[in-house]
Structure 1
Amino acid sequence: MSKKCAKCEKTVYPTEELKCLDKFWHKACFKCEVCNMTLNMKNYKGYNKIPYCNVHYPTTSFTAVADTPENQRIKQNTKVQSNVQYHSEFEKQKGAYTQVADTPDMLRHQQNTKNISLIEYHRNFEESKSQFTCVTDTPVMKTQLTNTKNVSLIEYHKDFEKSKSKYTQVADSPEIQKYLQNTKNISLIQYQKDFTDSKGSCYQVPDTVEMLTHRRNTENVSRIKYHADFEKMKGKKLTVVDDPETMRIKQNTAIQSQVEYHKVKDQLNEMEIRRPDREARDELEFEVGFDMEGPGVQEVEDVPTRRVGSISDYDPMNNQFGSISRYSGGDPEPPRGYQAPPPQSYQPPPQQSYQPPPPQPAMPPPSEGMVCKALYDYTSADVDEVSFQEDDLIIQCQPIDEGWMEGTVKRTGQRGMLPSNYVEPVN
């Protein structure tokens, strides 16, 4: 079956065949429908399968019709779905960036892309200058317009956030000054009233999931940090400044040692003082005479007393060994055949004079090291932390990392970890 030209309805041979707009044309018959300008595949525009030039291309007109309930519902659903999808993707991509170093090839490619983009833009702009084409909005264009609107809102809010807290100072009018003063007075009255009503009352609220999660994370981070520092410092010896508790224990130990020492010294002095008198009494000689032929015992006159050296005669009440007595007519008689031991002379050892120890120098007060002042109240969240109040002094501070330090609260004497952003250094 031979091919017919759509313009002249004659047979079209392969050498002069031109297929366009689902029809076959002679190359010479492919002309504009209005001005009969010869067209080609590069400069024609088709409308209802009829070729036109750029100048005589028919303009599309639109008729405004009322939206049906179905169209309104579809438009609303599309808008909601677009917003949901946009915000979902925006939240997923928020805060996620990948930074890579620009290689020479990438820099060259960016520069070439920029140059090509400028060249292409200017060429298209020059070609399409003073030419306009009205086309219906496709779904892609509608999506692009909606995205542009959303981006515009984002840019607006971003600029608004940047300019927030920036003010332009103008002179207050009398009305504004009066309003500010009234507002200040009302605020003070309401504050004092609320403060008086809520004084001494506590409010308990249940822990939310976020609060429980934050407390658990804080506890885990504290334990991890503590164990990490513990593993690093394992096997290492550190010389630290004695805290007030250690100084107090040392002072009490020294005082107790001095008391025990002086107690023993006084006891030794007392023993040394009493020893010569006791030994002098032991040196007295007792002369006792017995008449072995008669039944009685004749005591020699003017015989001094002595103590019998039997352990069974120890008198704990008087701290004496034996009973002191004179053998007289009515006293008990000594056993038969008893002979007094010969007197022994005792030479007391020379008494040594006690030299007290030289006085010890007074201990210097402990150094407080780095001292910080508390800016806020803080309650410990773990066993290795300390609590303090505002304006408390923290002594012997030792930084651990950029967020924590270790120190001793001077008011309570407790030592532990504390956040470094709650205090400021004093010295």
Structure 2
Amino acid sequence: MNPLCSRCNLVVYPTEKVNCLDKYWHKGCFSCEVCKMTLNMKNYKGFEKKPYCNAHYPKTSFTAVADTPENLRLKKQSKMQSTVSYKEEFEKNRGKGFTVVAETPELERFKKTQNQISNISYHEDFEKRKMGREVPHQQPSIPSPAAYQQPGAASQNFHYEPTPEPVQPVQPVAAAPPPSAGKRYRAVYDYSAADEDEVSFVDGDVIIDVQQIDEGWMYGRVQRTGQQGMLPANYVEAI
């Protein structure tokens, strides 16, 4: 028995049958729910088992997990625990001439970023010194004129000027670009900064000068606002 079309409720014969979204359609009935443009298996987008074109596909709203009361409470509790640990270490090492700061995730992330920046600066300075280094020129030794006097011509002055050896020019070595320089990413979700070292952006923003910090965080600058800081890696995609 032939099934019924999900659009017109008429019988669908095998020669004109389209099986998609767990339903059966006529080829002409398989169209967008909004603009009625005829679709196929390559350009359709399904939402709640209904076909849509790319322009009218419903966009799902994104809810930040940090906005829930439970996560806000956990965040506040973690911050309080970090403050308590810092104060305990401070009181323990008071009067010893130095202060030990608790190794928080924010501090470790900051130290890792500073180490990467220091390595980039060191390699740039090293390549500049390598390019500006000159090969010392050795002055050829000049033999005495007596060695070139012919027999029987001792009274004649024979002047000899040695030909200097050609010096091969030093080929400059191009400085290697710093890692992750020039990488561009595009935001796929909205994000609001939770700390002072983070940056906010919206869906579609372009983030430039991106540096990979770890598996979950990056450092970059939002091209639209000019602000720079930390951002979550799962909120953006590479361009």
Calculate the TM-score normalised by the size of structure 2.
Answer: 0.31
User: Of Structure 1 and Structure 2, which has the larger fraction of its residues in helix?
Assistant: 1
Bigger Rg over Cα? 1
Calculate the TM-score normalised by the size of structure 1.
Answer: 0.18
Higher relative contact order (CA 8 A, sep 6+): 2
